[in-house]
Amino acid sequence: MSLRKKEALVGIALTLPFLSGFLLFYIIPFFITGFYSFTSGISGMYFAGFRNYAEVFASHAFRLAAYNTFRFMAAGIPLILGISLALSLMIFGKTGHSRIFQSIFLYPMVIPVGSVVMYFQVVFSRYGVLNRILYQLGLPESDWLESSSAFLVLLFLYLWKNCGYNIVLFLTGLNGIPREYLEDARLNGAGKWQYFRYIQLPLLMPSFLFVFVMSVINSFKCFREAYLLGGQYPDESIYMLQHFMNNNFASLNYQRLSVAAILVFLVIFALIILLFSWNRHREKDMAGLIREKAKPSAHRAKGRRSEPEPPAFYREHRGMLLNETGEQRIQRKTGRGQEGRRRR
């Protein structure tokens, strides 16, 4: 047996436990869920076609849950991306305190969810700390967890808990940008906004894409907090798709549960495919632009051997040298001028 075959067999043997668990706990249950979505009945299975899908789409509870879920994503994901990016840019460069800030922002992820929700209930309940403060100040009180304000409380909890993880990811991407780019941009007179827009932001796109995907996943995982804050039947503003699936599971309606799970999977899968397609087209456009700039100039004299275009930073420095005044050129070439005078 050749060495390559032995290495292949060893690799398969090492990955076999993971592949077995992934097949047993993810792939097989997914196909079982898809099968349930096209059947009806509890004791006996009968093929129902797309009738379950039509009933789910006609359900007011499903439409409310889908609306609240996508409204939460539309409000939470842009906010957490903007706040995380802004805070990471503020922390970046503070080498002496960077690790301290990272530890502070990661601390909410270490705290158990039950403890966090208990603290929020103490603060935002009807007779909680916040209403007590408002009463002392003479301001109107509010039932934060049993009204439309529960959506804002859940949104704040999502931002507070997951912002630190995104900050660490953005800081990792920022630390991967070479310092020479910053020094070169400063030499060419670029400001902070120009450096962020034309250098940092394009190079942060892979990290930005990963942070976006993780933020979408964490927004769906926020059901734990919503369930602990509002219970099985919370206020309508925080009734999510996970509430819909959990209530159908409790009532043994596995068909509607399976339909909702399949629809959530399709939406997330389509969103991720669109993001990766956009990123692939962006990379192709950037590669084409680099190849176009690397082509030799058309105005070169005929018969002269074409040379590759110099690097971008060299072209920029060369442009600075060409734009300098006569006095600056004389001062820069003082040594050469002195040599010329000695020869004369």
Q: pLDDT tens digits for 72-107?
A: 999 999 999 999 999 888 888 665 566 777 777 778
**Could you give the percent of the chain with pLDDT greater than 70?**
80
**Domain ranges (residues) in the chain:** 28-58+254-293, 61-251
Is the CB of residue 152 less than 8 Å from the CB of residue 130?
A: no
Q: How far apart are the first and last CA of the chain?
A: 80
**Residue of higher predicted confidence among 321 and 39:** 39
Residue 269 has pLDDT above 50, yes or no: yes
CA dihedral 127, 129, 130, 131 (to 10 degrees): 30
- How many Å apart are CA 237 and CA 16, to the nearest integer? 45
CATH value of 61-251 in 1.10.3720.10, 3.40.50.970, 3.40.50.720, 3.30.420.10:
1.10.3720.10
Closest alpha carbon to 35 in 22, 20, 52, 19: 52
**Residue of higher predicted confidence among 68 and 294:** 68
Residue 304 has pLDDT above 80, yes or no: no
What's the confidence (pLDDT) of residue 75? Answer: 92
Q: What is the pLDDT of residues 204-236, one digit of tens each?
A: 888 888 899 889 888 888 888 888 888 777 888
177 three-class SS: coil
Lowest mean pLDDT among 53-57, 69-73, 141-145: 141-145
Q: What is the pTM of this model?
A: 0.73
What's the confidence (pLDDT) of residue 77? Answer: 92
Residue 137 has pLDDT above 90, yes or no: no
Q: What is the pLDDT of residues 148-194, one digit of tens each?
A: 888 998 999 999 888 888 988 888 888 888 888 777 877 877 777 88
Mean of the per-residue pLDDT values for the chain? 79
192 three-class SS: helix
What's the confidence (pLDDT) of residue 45? Answer: 72
Q: For residue 195, what are its two tokens?
A: 């450096």
Longest dimension (CA), the chain: 109
